[in-house]
Every structure is written in C-alpha cells, then in structure tokens.
Structure 1
C-alpha cells in the first residue's frame, strides 16, 4: 500500500475514520502500517465500535489436526470464512495457526464462545486447564485465573446494559443422582468472571443438570437445554446483567431425543431429532413461549448421504434471509439446507480427516489492553 497523498491527509479525522471502518479486515490491518495517524485511528476504541457495527458475519472453523509425535492432541487452527459469499463459493479469509504458539503446545483446544470479535478458548492438557480470551485480529490474548473444579458447562457473553464481558461456568461438586431436581441442589455451583476484575465470583448453587458444554449466547443471556424430566420448561438461561438463572420458555414439544440450540436471523431456535427427521423450532419473539414456531421439518429421505441426525445431534449455526440454514454436526460436518429445493448440500470443502466445529464470528478491533487488571500478551 502506498503512502497517503496530501488530499487524504487533509481530510477531517471523522471522515478518515468512516472510510477506514468500511474497509476489509486485512486491508485495515495493513493500513496500520501506513502512518502513525492511521495507526492511532485504528487503535482507538471509537473506531473499534464503529467497525464492529459494520462488521459482516463470518464463520469461524476450529479444525482439529490430530496428535503430535508425543501423543498429545494438537491445538489446531482457527479459520474464518465469509458468509456473504455465494453458497457454492466460500473461501477461507484468514487463518490463525494455534500450533505455532508456544502457549498452546501439547494441548487440546475447545472453543467456548465468541462475542464482538473476542473468542474464548478452553485449553485441556494433562498438566493444565486454562481459559483464554483472545482477539485473532489484534493477536492479543489473556489467561483467566486457573479453575479448581471440574467444569460442566460454560458460556462467554456480554451484558446488554452494563456492557461487561463475562464468562459463566458451572462445575460439579458431587456425583449426580438420577432422581428429582431438588435432590441435586448443592451438587452444582456457578461462578462468573468479569473481564477486568481479575477474579472469579461465586453465584451459589444451580439445581439443574445442563446438557452440552458451551451455552448459547443471545440477547444478553446464556442458554442451555435442561436434562430434567421434572422441569416445566426445558431451557435454562443466565442473565449477564442481573447475574441470575431462570427457567426459559421452551418449544411445545416432547419429541426431542437429541436437542441443540442455535440462532436463525437473530432468533433463538432449537433442533430436535426424532424418528429419522430433524425439526427446527424458532422463537419469533424472544422470551415469549407462544411465539415458538415449527420452522422446518427435514426428513431423512431427502439426504440419504447425510443421515447425521440419526447418529448424533445437529446444531444450527446461522440462517440467511432467503431461508437457507447453515448447520453442523458434532462429528465435524458442515452443510446447508435449502428450503426452496428441499435439499441438503455441502457448505465448504475442508479436509475431513479430523473433526472440526464452527460458529458465527464478527471480526473486530477491540483491544484486550482496554481491560484493567488483566495481563495481556500477543501471539
């Protein structure tokens, strides 16, 4: 990139900010090297917020690359793909190779969520279990204080009112009896970590066993499916502002054998697998039980080559305005459902020798250095 000419240099700062915030991420990264003025603009929090408001939705894929020579799982790579491409042409935009970072050596990496360009990663290895918050765009990362208990579920999110970034985790304090929810009181405990405070805080006991590991973040809440036949609702939610747990309205269905939560066009959805078909419920009005709508029913017969929901749960990653739904399986297969043609096709071609998972990601230039009381390093 050439140096800015005199006319560009004479533009008002607000005009330069507006122009730079509309550029592709790679171009903005290169622009930081053009001159100090551009570097200062791009490093400012106002620019980060403006860019995020215009940042397109991307797909991040964590690709598991198997084992190293010592028998440890490799950390893998983070690759993001532009979702605004045509469905038959999705090219990887950027890749962060976690295998090259000394901090991730000889460990398995599990994604724990992404909010406003910040990604939460859970590191699992024989000698340490760390949780990292990182921004692949700025190449910054922080390590949260070590956990002392076995994590059951977690979720990374941000409050709608406080705008505080938090990680909620629920861990097990005893062996779960297979009985009523009241007898499980005291077995599970919740803690929350607010970025910038440097410490975990206890939120007390949680009376339910929650399905899966990573919760779904939407509208300032974490959401999990309950594993409890006695509960009148089958979804449990955590409010990141109030720091409270509550039962959440679930779909009017009792057929779910394997369920998962997702988001379609900004609405909460739930996938249910039952009798060789996949049903997707969508909550049209957040928090209103009557607004649940049976959006899609996919019969196994339309895709004999991908009978995924008969083997394991399928989860929704994103929905598009034309009705196309991007989905994945926990074995690491990505595909799209086209309702107009009632067909399922591959979404993006990746080496399927190893498993991978995917989630929606919006790149941002939010700097972790803005959080006080946190040690921030660079990859």
Structure 2
C-alpha cells in the first residue's frame, strides 16, 4: 500500500458518524484533553452541536446530588457528590478555603460564591475559574445571584444584584436602598482560565424582589417572583431577564394562586417549562402550575399540571431541585420524575406519569452534610 492509500485511512478522513461513535466511547473528562490535538478535533468536540447532542443522547449523563459541609475551624467548604443511579458518594474536590454562601448550577458547571469572591467550577474536569471582583464593596452588599448559559454565543452569564444607599428619605425618616445589577460573560472555552472579561453595569433593577430570591432558568431567560405586597396576587409579578438581549421584562402571574403568601410559592423549571409550585408548610400536597408556551397566536397561559401527594411530609422547607429523564424501554421517554428536597438531607422522587411520590429519606444519611443541588449536565462538553 503506497503513501497516498495510507493517508486515505487517516482518522480525520473517516465518515462523520464513525468519528462521532469513536469519540462517544471516550470518558467525558478525557474529551477535554483531546481538543488540543488538532483544529478538526477541536471543532468536533467543542464547536459542533451535532456531536454534543449525539454524546448526551447516547449516554443520558446521570445527574448528581451535590452536598456541602462547612468546616468552621478553617473556615472552608467541602463538596461531595452522589449519583442518582446508586453510585456511592465520592468527594469531587478538596476543601475550598472559604465558606460558601451560595451555590448555583447550570449545564453541570457550578458557580460558587463566598463573601469576597466568586468562581466557576467544573466537577468533572476539576477546573476552577476565578471571576473578577473589581469592586469589593459590591460583594459586601450582595443581594442575589443568577447563573445561566447562552448556547447561541456559547457563553456562561452571571448576574449579580447588590444594593446601594439612596439619599435619606425625609418622608419615611429612613435611609433607603436601590438594587443594582451587573453582568459578566464567561466563554465556555475559557473555563479553567482566569477571566479577562469585566463586569458590565446594567444600572438599577427596574423591579423589587419579593420573598424568595430563588429563580428559574428556562429557554434562555431567568424568572423571579417580584412585587409590592406579599398577600395580594394583584401585586405579585414575575420578572424575567433575557440572556441574549440582556433586558428585563414582566410576565403574567396566575391569579388562581390567590390568598397565598409569596413565601408559599416558588419558580422552577420542569421539562423545559416554567412552573410555579404552591404549597403551605402544613399541607401534605403541592400544586404545580405550568406556563404553556405560546402556540398558534395564543399567548402564554398557566394550567395546574400536577398535584403532588407528599405522603404526610409537613416539613416547612420543601423544594423541587430538578427534573430527571426516564427511559421506558428502547428510546421511548416518559415525562420522567422530579426530585423534591425537604430539609437539608432528605429527598424523594415524584413520578410524573403514574403520580407516585417515593420518599427516600434515610437512604442517604451523612452527618453534617447538606443537600444543595441536583447537578444536570445539559448539552455541554
């Protein structure tokens, strides 16, 4: 066989489907290293959405539960993970040398926030990216955070809300505050490297937060509950922030959730839909309202999609952490199941198809560990 015939058998000359199949057999952690081999491999493993979809559909990457433990002597924070399929808990990092005050997740990447700094952490590759902190005073007055990903620009975006003092209010005889907002763009390709980007000031937040500062991230938008009065649904709104246009907006709030305090409500993402959970602390069930997407000229509207029977659980802290895809033989997917957390350590799963809640309290019992998040890697390599 001459030299020309040998060149025709080179890996890069193989059909795309065969290349995809070969790459898909390589553990995710090692795929990052292969990006450096050549430009064509970099394209396949980093810039080609077809391969990302192929890899995730083949592997159905299993979500992990993220636990934290605060070490007060140092102080520091330890992270550990537990795979939902039953793999024993494993420590995924050494101790972080500061106490974490907030932990966020998007596409399997963690945004870890301390009193003085914030950084991104990939639990698979162990890569850490320190985020710039150009003005320490803003961290001292932090009000809230949000963390999302733009697939069109292939960048992560971090929103930071902080407060500033306004002039003395003579009418109320008090010092009032304004909520400011800034945003940072972090390219996916820069994960693991120091940020060269700077925070961009977005000015005053146009709406006031109300109750919980939890948010939902759906279809490239953040959503928060905002308003003026806790017990009047006429004054409760849903604030949104579009990652592509970097602008705020308002969304319709379901009036059916009247006579509820906003502390009983929470926004979550289920099956790529924006959902609103409604539950009083002493109730044994939870209503889940889903905002149906605009269809054939009809605007978005809310429907009560699920009613979750929590089997007598009356814990005051009950939250939905995430949605898990379930395969019912072959390629047939069900509606899946949602993971519900109650308290710091206990959780259970609610099957959306057969409407059964399974309490898994006691199956994972780690003294001193608090369950924080369900980390689900979505179409990101």
| TM-score using structure 1 length | 0.72
What residue in structure 2 maps to residue 324 of structure 1? 337
CA distance in 1 between counterparts of 2:360 and 2:243 reads 36
Match 2:270 to one of 264, 271, 278: 264
Shift in Å at residue 317 of structure 1?
1.2
Is the Cα–Cα contact under 8 Å of residues 261 and 316 in structure 1 kept in the other structure? no
Shift in Å at residue 312 of structure 1?
2.2
Match 1:315 to one of 313, 320, 324: 320
Deviations, residues 351-377 of structure 1 (Å, cap 9, x unaligned): 2422111234216764xxxxxxxxxxx
Cα 1:32–1:203, aligned 2, differ >3 Å: closer, same or farther?
Answer: closer
What residue in structure 1 maps to residue 304 of structure 2? 294
What residue in structure 2 maps to residue 141 of structure 1? 128
CA distance in 2 between counterparts of 1:52 and 1:251 reads 36
CA distance in 1 between counterparts of 2:40 and 2:94 reads 25
Deviations, residues 139-190 of structure 1 (Å, cap 9, x unaligned): 3221111243222121111336544421111112249x9xxxxx99961111
Match 1:172 to one of 153, 160, 163: 163
What residue in structure 2 maps to residue 44 of structure 1? 42
CA distance in 1 between counterparts of 2:25 and 2:119 reads 28
Shift in Å at residue 59 of structure 1?
2.4
Match 1:246 to one of 240, 246, 249: 249
Shift in Å at residue 246 of structure 1?
1.0
CA distance in 2 between counterparts of 1:18 and 1:44 reads 13
CA distance in 1 between counterparts of 2:181 and 2:21 reads 44
Deviations, residues 104-145 of structure 1 (Å, cap 9, x unaligned): 224226312213x43222134xxxx21112222333221111
Shift in Å at residue 342 of structure 1?
3.7
Is the Cα–Cα contact under 8 Å of residues 167 and 193 in structure 1 kept in the other structure? yes
Rg larger in 1 or in 2? 2
What residue in structure 1 maps to residue 81 of structure 2? 79
SS of 2:44 mapped into structure 1: helix
Structure 2 alignment gaps of length 5 or more: 1-8, 169-173, 188-195, 326-333
Is the Cα–Cα contact under 8 Å of residues 163 and 178 in structure 2 kept in the other structure? yes
> Do structure 1's residue 119 and structure 2's residue 110 form an aligned pair?
yes
> Do structure 1's residue 64 and structure 2's residue 63 form an aligned pair?
no
Shift in Å at residue 94 of structure 1?
6.5
CA distance in 1 between counterparts of 2:110 and 2:18 reads 28
> Do structure 1's residue 343 and structure 2's residue 357 form an aligned pair?
yes
SS of 1:58 mapped into structure 2: coil
Shift in Å at residue 281 of structure 1?
0.8
Is the Cα–Cα contact under 8 Å of residues 323 and 336 in structure 2 kept in the other structure? no
Higher RCO (C-alpha 8 Å, min separation 6): 1
Is the Cα–Cα contact under 8 Å of residues 264 and 319 in structure 1 kept in the other structure? no
CA distance in 1 between counterparts of 2:269 and 2:374 reads 10
> Do structure 1's residue 96 and structure 2's residue 92 form an aligned pair?
yes
What residue in structure 1 maps to residue 215 of structure 2? 215
Deviations, residues 206-236 of structure 1 (Å, cap 9, x unaligned): 1312443453221111111225327655211
Structure 2 counterparts to residues 176-195 of structure 1, below 5 A: 187-195=178-186
Cα 1:228–1:163, aligned 2, differ >3 Å: closer, same or farther?
Answer: farther
Cα 1:330–1:234, aligned 2, differ >3 Å: closer, same or farther?
Answer: farther
Is the Cα–Cα contact under 8 Å of residues 163 and 177 in structure 2 kept in the other structure? no
Match 2:291 to one of 283, 288, 294: 283
CA distance in 2 between counterparts of 1:37 and 1:234 reads 45
SS of 1:226 mapped into structure 2: strand
CA RMSD of aligned residues (A): 3.7
CA distance in 1 between counterparts of 2:199 and 2:123 reads 24
Q: How many residues align?
A: 329
Cα 1:255–1:364, aligned 2, differ >3 Å: closer, same or farther?
Answer: same
CA distance in 2 between counterparts of 1:283 and 1:204 reads 29
Cα 1:341–1:364, aligned 2, differ >3 Å: closer, same or farther?
Answer: closer
Deviations, residues 37-95 of structure 1 (Å, cap 9, x unaligned): 9955897243134453232353232212242544x2x422242525xxxxxx5335875
